[in-house]
Structure 1
Amino acid sequence: MKKPNRKMTQSLWVLGSGLLASANALAAPMTFSQIPPGAGAKEPAPNIIVSVDDSGSMGWDINGCMTMDFRTDVYGNLNDPTRPAGSPTCPSRTANTNPSRMASLRAAILNTFGNPTTGDKGIISDDRIRLAWQAMWDNGKDSRPSGQRNDQDLLTAGQINTIKPFSGTHRSNFHSFITTLSPVNGTPSHKMMANVNSYMSSTGSTGPFATSPGVTGAPYLSCRRSYHILMTDGAWNSETTGAGNKGNYDGTARTLPDGTTYTTTTNQTRVYRDAWGGTKGTLADWAMANWATDFQSTLNNDVRPLFPVNANETVGGTALTKYWNPKNNPMTWQGVTQYTIGFGNSATTWNGSPTWNSTTDSTYGGDYSSLVNGPTNWQNLLNTAETQTTLEGRRASDLWHAALNGRGRYFPARTPEALENAFEDILKDILSQTAKPLVAIASNTSRLSKNGLAYVASFNSERWSGDIKAYPIDDNTGLPALTPTWKVSTLLDSTNTSEFSHSNRVVLTHNGLTGGSGSGIAFKWTALTTSQKNLLTNNGADNNTVGQERLNFLRGDRTKEQPATGGYLRQRDSRLGDIVNSNLWYVGKPLRMDTDYSGHSSFRSSYATRTPVLYAGANDGMLHGFNAQTGKEMLAYVPLGVYANLRNYTQPEYAHKYYVDGHPFAGDADLQSGTGTNWRTVLVASLGAGGKGYFALDVTNPATFNDSSAGSIVLMDNTANVDADVGYIFAAPTVDNQTSTLSQQIVKLNNDRWAVILGNGYNSSNERPVLLIQYLDGSKELKKIIANSSTGQTNGLGAPASFDVNGNGTVDVVFAGDLKGNMWKFNLVSESDTNWGVSAWSGSTTCYNSTACKPLFVAKDSGGTTRPITAAPMLMIHPQGGLQVVFGTGKDLVASDRDTTSPPRETIFSVWDLSTYRIESGKLVADESGAIEVSNGRSKLVAQTVTGTAGSGLVETSANTVTYDRTDSASKRGWYFDLPVSGERVLGAPRFFDGPNLLFSSVVPKQVIEGETCDLASAVDRNFLTILNAISGAPPKTSVFGDEMDPSGNATRLQYGSGEFITLVDSKNRKTTAINTDYFCTGGNCDDDSAPDETCVGSDCASCTGPDCPGTTCVGPDCSCNGQNCTCVGPDCACSGPGCRGECGVTGGILDLCRSGLFGARTDWRELR
């Protein structure tokens, strides 16, 4: 709450009447981006070639018995003569009810790639991949009867079976190909590999690297990945059929396209090579050739290398380097990654070594270590001295060898179900390798300073990990050190069980039940409800073991992560997910509030030494709380609203999604119902774009953070099955102007109850603006004040700002804007919440749940188009009484908001609310009239404009006179300033700087790069700082940027860059340093919790005798009074009243400032963003 000036309390006046903007027609909800700003570009869809076996043996079933698909007209009545001993007796061909291998292949393909005849897309959305296909005896290019098919048709550029985006007609063609395959002839697998080799070197508009093959050639994206999936049911034969010869390619030294030497004399390459070949070659030779060849040598080598094992790995006695580890793929050139599937006994077993471990079925199991180190070698598959039967008995091992050489994996499929799983796993592998949005590798997001430490949150988009680092601040220079004192990741990712154990981690959640049954619980499998378990098991499609392993993964267990043996869950770089938009919020010792509430002093004393905790939301499904002194995690919470997507977070093909991406904030509240007090520290957070709603935790005592305290820690969770008026809440918390670790949204109301006040956010079911008053005591009911009852408006309320008119410690009015440009005023003066509502601008009455409620003002551009308001306004007492409501317009919620084609012009508005209030029978009464009419609201304000430049990045603005007169209805009611840069908008609340001067931070967000590209999003935010007088809109009377930057002393605007230091100078010539993006900190011990609370000397701080505080009255611009207790914060004041908290700080909001540093001799810091 902003503290009112005692001298002006009795002269607050109110604004005139106006008309509400007409309701818009129903519109579709907004689609919020699920990747960070600047990450609109997509990694190119991969090229995938699927090669399937349609040889004669595909007419047998999995047991090698004839089916109706078997070609008796070609082969006669013949069961597989190589069936293992002990196989079941084969039924007759006509009596066999088992599916043929071909039928199993069709089913597996259709279930994974989709069936266009039913609209099913399988696991691949349209255009997510680019597909080509071929079969050994058809290649899908002609409609000749199966008996007339031959092997002369190649994978030729321009044909219907070659690379194209997988959607529409191409999907249908693939479906026709699969459903019309018929088994015949032998198994010329080499030909499939040779076809790939020949086709991938095609160029031009029909080649595999064309933008739209067959339609458009350029641009040819040099970072596009290519894959080959070879599926066969047996050992290859007829190795020269239709194929060229690569000889012993993997046994020959060569220089790879990136300049690396492939040698044949070291254990680093031993697993890849054999000694066989010459006039012929193996599938492994072809796989090595296809991987090691730069098929598009005219393109840059921009393929992104993949290093799941990001360090040397010791295998047996060999320390494999990252480059030569088969689990990694260092390819940067346009080569082909090889996956293989062996279906049935003949393709999954072989005679002799190397042996395969059929229990783990891991490409890196069995004799893999012995292949790396010796003595095991790959067998000779080409020995002309041996019989064809003997050779075919060991050739299935070539599938394993080929997968290793092509840096893919081999999948043995012994059943039809395993065949489908193999295709699905491979596709998910490929999707996960090509799902990386193109954003900067590390982007700082939120910064905070407390206790001489600068905390910096960051994320890494490589595998969507996050971190928080704490940098010590030099007391002399005020600068942060280059090396952090601690990093969250050090402890959270430790392999030392004394530092981290997923089983001992304190992770809580809510059981999802309502009423008295609802409660906090431990996030452990045995504690979850059946419905929560179902969400982790894909509604029962997976067994409970898989569900529990997913839950353990979320808790931090990494034993099931790929590429570990038996690993099937996503590989992470860190247990901590990315922290993108969530701010950091510090909860230290309880702070003195604006009012000395009953019992709060004792509460502060009781918890004066509690462990400080740093809170942040992360996109791993959790809100985290870290010890602010050591970085050790103390608490994590999984909101109900993220459960539906938790399974996706564990999947290898995971594409980034927001989970807990909203802003946490905290404050003290008395939760006692009735007599007595029960002070607690309450933390509230939303999910941002991760989901609707909010939740609240009791974080009073970190010493009690444990599983058994879940019921008392979790106060409520309204993130699932939310109220129809609750949407996605993005707003940054509204904070105290002097101490920004105090929230203005956890407040006491005039009905003597404590609550959190929130804008309802966006995309609620009703899509209308609603002020949410969530009670924290009693039955914790939700009170809603509906500003406009029309539904389907694509609207919602943004961040609120509250004001205590008479200084008695209870909120009386709240202001908040919506997406339709309405600045609403909510009247909460009454002691009964049934009388609360939107100010009706007629005496003390209110309007509620009606289409006739009128806003204070409607923000429009010069053309009359309404502009959205998403940030909280700043409230300031007007010299003639009433409140000045200052706010900016703009939003950055959906991709179209970043369109640079013709972005709208946004504006800073400052509007005078003339409201007056009086005391009747000891109660506050509002007198309100005179809202600005919607039709001419802008005309009632004075325009301030850019008048010139004042040096590099500096701009001067006008000082057009605003003449206020509450007795003259024709007089002006404020001012506006149209932001001069195209696309510039205000996304945060203004902040006080010096006296009546406010700081406005505005931004032109990074441009969204649509479609596929190989370039990282190079665009950056363009940031602007504007300093204007809140009442007049005029420039400050003295230079704020200093003589060196602004010799003329007239500049009011500055464009600044990332990491740039800016010196600001206040009216008393005291310098303040601001820093953008890199750190967020304060100098000296400004934020030191060890400093004692200031005390007030004298009933009205009579000992404060500086020039700002003559006698017992605090009248300077740096001072405000709280009832009979004066608070003086100027440099000449030695005391401060109960309204001062004894510490100050910043929280990651826009331009938070440290007051004691600002008005003392030390350097002070601010963040500008």
Structure 2
Amino acid sequence: MQTKRISRMPAPRRLAAHIAAMSFCLTGVASMANAASFDISSVPLYLGGTIEPNILFILDDSGSMQFEAIPESLTWTYYLFPPVSNMYGGSIYDNRIIQFSDTSARNVQVRSSHNNKIFYNPNVTYLPWVNQDNAAWANINPFDAPFNPQNYSRGKWNLTTEKSYNRWRNDSGTNDTARTYWPITFYVYKGSGAVDNYRNYVKYQIRGTAGYRQDLNGGSETTVTTFPWGRSVAQETQNFANWFSYYRSRILTARAGIGRGFAAQGEGMRVGFGAINTDSSTVDGLAGGTVIRGVRRFEGTDRAGFFSELYGHTIPAAGTPLRRALDDAGQYFSRTDDRGPWSTTPGATGGTDLSCRQSYAILMTDGYWSEGSEYDARTSAARDNNVDGVAGSAITGPGGESYTYSATSPFSDSYSDTLADVAMYYWKRDLRTDVENRVPTTTINPAFWQHMSLFGIGLGVEGTVSPDAAFAAIDSGTTIPWGNPLEGTTAVKDARKVDDLLHASVNARGGFFSASDPDEFAQVIKETLESIGRRSSSASAAAVSAFQLSSESKIFRATYESGGWTGDLAAYALDPVTGQPTATPSWSAAALIPAHGSRSIFTWSPESGGTGVPFLWSSITTAQKGYLNSDARLLNYLRGEQLHEVGGAGDGVFRARAGKLGDIVNSDPAYVASEDFGYATLSGIPLAQRTAYVTRKNSTAFKERPGTLYVGANDGMLHAFDASTGVEKFAFIPNSVFPYLKELADPDYTHRYYVDGAPKVGDAWIGTSWKTVLVGSTGAGGRSYFALDVENPNAFGADKIMWEFSHAELGYTIGQASIVMTEGGDWVAIFGNGYNSDSHKAQLFVVRLSDGALLARLDTGVGSTTTPNGLATPVAVDFDQDGAADMVYAADMLGNVWKFDLTSTAAANWKVAFGGKPLFQAKDSLGNAQPITAKPQVAALGGRGVYVYIGTGQFFERGDQGDMARQSLYGIKDECGRRVTGSDCEAATGSSKVARTNLLEQSITYEYRLTVGDKNWGLRQVTNRTMSPTSPEKGFFIDLISPRLGVQGERVTEAVSVWSDRVIFVTRIPNSDPCSFGGSSWLMEVDPATGGRLDFAAFDLNGDGLFNMADWVPLLDNEGNPVLDEDGNEVRTPPTGILNEDGMMRMPAVLRVGDTVMKNMTDTSGQLVQIPNKVPFSLGRQSWRQLR
């Protein structure tokens, strides 16, 4: 798992120990663009700068690719049908073929797909090749079948007529006697017995229009009209013809698979083409070898040109110079000119070299590399001196990080002049020292410098080392027994040369796959390209299994790949001493999704008052079937069936998916096990219910309730995963997303959101017992909330779906609910109305949890069709700690911070506080309203009263990346708290209770970089203006304006975290730099009463594990000059903020690790940022309670 530590921090004194605050991430949501509506983005906004990777595909054009058998042990002859001279554009080998004889062991073996993996297999439907647009070539005419479908002039055959030939090889030698045979002859192994005994086979043959079958163990020949696998004679003839012309040899099978794999890809990659026997070439103005076409964006004429080379390239009777070819590829990626592969305009001058572009070589081969100096790497440094056995030089990144290759297992060996040496030479060296090192890293590839990664793909080759073991050793360091590929017998060396290709792939931190049959090979090519094309990112927050670290602790992270819009939820075990996650996940949910027929998937049927039903064709409504085009295949596709995907064995009508789990973007995973919500001690809850809560809490069933993770995905489902195994328990599809589900199957799918909201889980008294209830939302995917009874997730069924709620005034539900009890004793879900409701006014919804009935809709009256508005996530507060919500705070898009009065036992008396006016209106210094999309946080600061903390800014509409509006962080006093009487609390005298002019201003004064020890920090300072508890100020504000760069569009889109001695918040600064993962973030920590600079060290800058004045730093001005006091001494202060430049961060999940508390924060680069803190000490009983 990729992790990075920014700093260590001192002991937090947590202000509200019983706060369970809701939070959500507003980072790109679904589109509903019309006049005076919010133009919600349908993709994550920070992906606008995705960098297309370079992919150089290198074809094995050695002579063995002409062979018509796999594996090598079956190549008693090169061909199985009389070869046509020049059929692949070059010379051919000896033209003897295995004699057609039913009693020949070699014949039945080599003409049976059980042994010869590329021979005709009647259980496979052989599809024609495809063009660059995935359109299939025509079926082959059996009466006119070409030996090479790219060029009919090189020979063709009538496969249905008897042939004669006189160049044979039999079991004992050769034969030159003219003999007749029928081309459509194949043998099916009976499943037992020696494979070299012809009696263990059944012969099938087509002669003209008639089919025949004969058991070779003494059986008589019989006529066949329908073959055992279901085809008629005509259909079998057609299938054999397609195999003969499109798959008969290694090169034909390879072209079929490569073509299908590349045709299934989009345009978001840059592809080049090479062939290993291209000794010299000139590409984009420079001479070299192997490379025939330089990388280009995979579109238009360049895409067509790739397919033309793939299908038409000459295959000579030549050797296998893999080492030379890989060296040539490395030299190509070492180009520094502006027409080279790092440029934005490869092949043309004037482009810009991007420092974060990834470059891959895919080396495909059917055999073992050739020995001899003429086949060596041309670059002496790549072939000599045992490159992978020697440590590398230190390479430094832009943030001061450093990496030095260490010659350890599984990378090193003691041999020179190997393919692994060549791969290492172009991996461990910085190929572009003139360009910043900002290449994205992965779990297995730490290279942040410009380098070449390698994917090795073998066609029908096997070595002695397990690829899984070899790649696992990257993490474990296990010794891998690499043999010397230049020593031993031919058989030993050949096996070691296959291992050397694997070794090269490990050294270059790519991947390795080997396949034999055509379908398997096509899938390998497709998966390789998809793994390269996908860009891993994360927008959802991390989750931990418990606050206290133990040997069982895990951290859970949701990620997604934007190339194919697939997602994953992975669990990482945590070191019980350090809290560091393992590099390899304990499980990956995406890899464990059950077969489509075995999944427990449910939906909501709105008919007859509404009920939960299985997501099966027999259960959904007629209207829902209509949304699925009345096609049961589409429902099965959504359940995970891949039969009818493009490139699949079925009709090929649905979008091909690399995985069954959709992308998880803004839905934060919720972990639920046997949490105690504390309801047994709250006086407002009836005694019988409190007693029942204790009984439930102490029951074995509750104590042993298995941990479950709930998360929404953009495959249309809310998923529940077993936290121990990662296996999906069940999934739920809201009715509100049905109109859009069919889009998921469109081969031209354009991303949108489906179930993108963060689920909220809590306990509630439902009917006559306590239940754990999940309230989820569709986020930007629809306009609904839903509730599920998850008391027993292992016994979840349709009857556990409680309700789905929609309303004309409920917009896109980009927010999260609260689950609370009211003063009247009703358990409810409370949520804001989101964005693009019918009236566009900000409104608060209160829905009864047991049945989804609307109890109250509190309309602020603010917003219109010309000035659209909407209410974000609310927070409920229980001031008197009786267990019932007293007040609710929430903010809107026009900068209003609202307070809602729920102190009455009657819903009809609930109202907007302060006479219908907001507590506060957020406006910048120019008077412009500042939108608020974050949830407020509320805290009591002793004698200073109640504070409401909120940050401003948005990041969900198209164009928000470039929004340069001024945003702020506010701490606002609510002097009324729970009090609702008195003129000062019954109404506001102005437009709001508190105005900006009533607040103390703090400013960001300095930003600079400073090296402390071996780390280079981006640091920030704010002022430390003070106010006393009796000061007239009613809070504070900090404008997020850089003193060095001015207004950058910095904003706060998440709830802050409040501790007794500080307010912690994360800002986001989007930018258009395609190498920045969408932007950067500041982690800020300020005084909770004043918003000013802290008077203690909040960050362990020197890394000594202490938080003291050694972590104070010289105050530098924005030009880097020391700030001096009046006596001429350097001013030293603790910094207020630290910079994360490698992506925009999320607020943390907190985990106790011994004497520290670890903050775990994800960022948009896909990494986990870890920040250690000391364990907070208890503050005693709180005077108020913020509800879950």
For the aligned pair, the TM-score class normalised by the smaller chain equals: 0.5 to 0.7
Aligned residue number for residue 561 of structure 1: 645
**8 Å contact from structure 1 (residues 456, 1080) kept in 2:** no
Assess if the C-alpha contact under 8 Å between 1:816 and 1:873 holds in 2. yes
Select which of 883, 908, 917 maps to 1:854.
Answer: 917
Change in 2 beyond 3 A, CA 1:316/1:472: same
Aligned to 1:955, the other structure's residue is in SS state: strand
1:958 and 2:1023 are equivalent in the alignment: yes
Q: Is the 8 A contact 1:874 1:989 kept in 2?
A: yes
Give 1:915's match in structure 2, choosing from 976, 981, 989: 976
Contact 2:141 2:238 (8 Å CA) reproduced: no
Alignment-derived partner of residue 695 in structure 1: 786
In 2, Cα distance between equivalents of 1:866 and 1:701: 46
Match of 2:1056 in 1: 990
The equivalent of 2:842 in structure 1 is: 769
Please say if residues 1002 and 1022 of structure 2, whose CA atoms lie closer than 8 Å, have aligned partners that are also in contact: yes
Provide the residue aligned with 1:550 in structure 2: 634
Residue 339 of structure 1 contacts residue 408 of structure 1 at CA under 8 Å; is this kept in 2?
no
Are the counterparts in 2 of residues 659 and 689 from structure 1 also a CA contact under 8 Å? Answer: yes
- In structure 1, the partner of 2:802 is 715
Aligned to 1:683: 774
Aligned amino acid, residue 459 of structure 1: Y
Partner of 1:265: 66
Partner residue of 1:30 out of 14, 35, 38: 38
Could you list the per-position Cα deviations for residues 180-199 of structure 1 after superposition, in whole angstroms to 9, with x for gaps in the alignment?
A: xxxxxxxxxxxxxxxxxxxx
Looking at structure 2, the residues matched to 363 and 700 of structure 1 have their Cα atoms a distance apart, in angstroms, of: 59
Alignment of 1:933-1082 (within 5 A): 933=991, 937-949=995-1007, 951=1010, 952-963=1017-1028, 965=1030, 971-981=1032-1042, 982-993=1048-1059, 995-1007=1060-1072, 1018-1042=1076-1100, 1044=1102, 1045-1047=1111-1113, 1048-1058=1132-1142, 1072-1077=1157-1162, 1078-1079=1167-1168
2:694 alignment partner in structure 1: 601
Aligned ranges 1:636-651 → 2 under 5 Å: 636-651=731-746
> CA 1:1083–1:376 in structure 2 vs 1: closer, same or farther (change >3 Å)?
closer
- Pick from 505, 520, 524: which aligns with 2:599? 505
Q: Does the CA contact (< 8 Å) of 2:856 and 2:908 recur in 1? A: no
Q: Distance in 2 between matches of 1:558 and 1:1051?
A: 54
What SS does structure 1 have at the residue aligned with 2:890?
strand
- Secondary structure of 1:870 counterpart: coil
Q: Quickly say closer, same or farther: Cα 1:459–1:1061, change in 2 above 3 A.
A: closer
1:972–1:257: structure 2 CA closer, same or farther, 3 Å change rule?
closer
Which range moved further: 939-948 or 1071-1080? 1071-1080
Q: TM-score, normalised by structure 2?
A: 0.54
Task: Give the deviation of 1:1031 after TM superposition.
Answer: 1.6
- Taking structure 1 as reference, are residues 1036 and 983 closer, same or farther at Cα in structure 2, changes over 3 Å only? same
Give the whole-Å Cα distance in 2 for the aligned partners of 1:652 and 1:796. Answer: 35
Aligned CA distance change for structure 1 residues 560 and 1017 (closer, same or farther; 3 Å): farther
Residues 316 and 1037 (structure 1), Cα distance of their counterparts in 2 relative to 1, 3 Å cut: same
CA distance in 2, matches of 1:626, 1:1121: 35
Residue by residue over 1:77-132, the C-alpha shift from the partner in whole angstroms, topping out at 9 and shown as x without a partner, is xxxxxxxxxxxxxxxxxxxxxxxxxxxxxxxxxxxxxxxxxxxxxxxxxxxxxxxx
- 1:456-855 aligned at under 5 Å gives the runs 456-492=557-593, 500-513=594-607, 515=609, 518-537=610-629, 540=630, 547-568=631-652, 569-593=654-678, 595-596=681-682, 597=685, 598=690, 599-606=692-699, 607-672=702-767, 677-705=768-796, 709-711=797-799, 713-718=800-805, 722-731=806-815, 745-777=818-850, 780-788=853-861, 790-792=863-865, 793-841=867-915, 853-855=916-918
Q: Partners of 1:1027 and 1:558 in 2: how far apart?
A: 49
Compared with structure 1, are the counterparts of its residues 328 and 590 closer, same or farther at alpha carbon in structure 2 (3 Å cutoff)? Answer: farther
Is the CA contact (8 Å cut-off) linking 1:360 and 1:566 kept in structure 2? no
Report Cα offsets for 1:646-665 as digits up to 9, x if no partner. 11212322222211111111
In structure 2, relative to structure 1, the CA distance for the partners of 1:368 and 1:1040 (3 Å cut) is same
The alpha carbon displacement at 1:1120 in A equals 2.7
CA distance in 2, matches of 1:681, 1:724: 28
Matches within 5 A, 1:374-385: 374=248
Between the aligned partners of 1:262 and 1:636, the Cα distance in structure 2 is 50
**Are 1:686 and 1:729, in contact at CA under 8 Å, matched by a contact in 2?**
yes
Structure 2: distance between partners of 1:574 and 1:222: 23
Give, in angstroms, the shift of residue 33 of structure 1.
1.8
**Residue 938 of structure 1, CA deviation:** 1.7
2: distance between equivalents of 1:667 and 1:959? 40
CA distance in 1, matches of 2:775, 2:623: 25
In structure 2, the residue matched to 1:169 is none
Where 2:703 maps in the other structure, the secondary structure is coil
Structure 1 pair 781–366 and aligned structure 2 pair: CA distance change class (3 A): farther
Q: Is the 8 A contact 2:711 2:720 kept in 1?
A: yes
Is 1:448 aligned with 2:543? yes
Q: RMSD across aligned C-alpha pairs, in angstroms?
A: 5.1
Q: Following the alignment from structure 2 to structure 1, what is the Cα–Cα distance between the partners of residues 732 and 970? A: 39
Aligned partners of 1:329 and 1:407 also within 8 Å = no
CA drift at 1:403: 14
Q: Deviations over 1:427-451 (max 9, x none)?
A: xxxxx99999987245474421115
Quote how far apart the aligned CAs of 1:488 are: 1.3
**Contact 2:936/2:948 (<8 A) preserved:** yes
Counterparts of residues 104-503 of structure 1 (less than 5 Å): 258=58, 260-261=60-61, 263=63, 265-267=66-68, 317-318=117-118, 340=137, 352-353=158-159, 365-371=239-245, 374=248, 440-443=535-538, 445-450=540-545, 451-492=552-593, 500-503=594-597
1:513 deviates by 2.1
Matched, 1:887 2:918: no
Q: CA deviation at 1:617?
A: 0.7
Task: Report the 3-state secondary structure (helix = DSSP H, G, I; strand = E; otherwise coil) of the residue aligned with 2:1181.
Answer: strand
8 Å Cα contact 1:316-1:370 kept in structure 2: no
TM-score (norm 1): 0.55
Using the alignment, how far apart are the partners of 1:869 and 1:700 within structure 2?
A: 34
Residue of structure 2 equivalent to 1:873:
936
CA distance in 2, matches of 1:552, 1:433: 26
Any unmatched runs of 5+ in structure 2?
1-12, 18-33, 71-77, 91-112, 147-155, 161-183, 185-208, 210-230, 253-304, 313-526, 546-551, 1011-1016, 1043-1047, 1103-1110, 1114-1131
Q: Report deviation, 1:614.
A: 0.5
1:336–1:889: structure 2 CA closer, same or farther, 3 Å change rule? closer
Cα distance between partner residues in 1 of 2:1075 and 2:127: 29
CA–CA distance in structure 2, aligned partners of residues 358 and 405 of structure 1 = 35
* 1:627 CA displacement: 0.6
Residues of 1 paired with 2:961 and 2:241: CA distance?
Answer: 54
After superposition, the Cα gap between the structure-2 partners of 1:959 and 1:274, relative to the gap in structure 1 and judged at 3 Å, is farther
1:591–1:436 distance in 2 versus 1, CA, 3 Å: same
Q: List per-residue Cα deviations over 1:498-532 (Å, max 9, x = no partner).
A: xx3322311111112253xx100011111111111
Deviations 1:1023-1049 (A, max 9, x none): 111111222112223111136253434
Q: Shift of residue 316 of structure 1?
A: 5.8
Tell me the SS of whatever aligns to 2:46: coil
Q: CA deviation at 1:27?
A: 5.0
> 1:731 deviation in Å?
2.4
TM-aligned CA deviation for residue 369 of structure 1: 3.6
Q: 1:265 to 1:346 in 2, by over 3 A?
A: closer
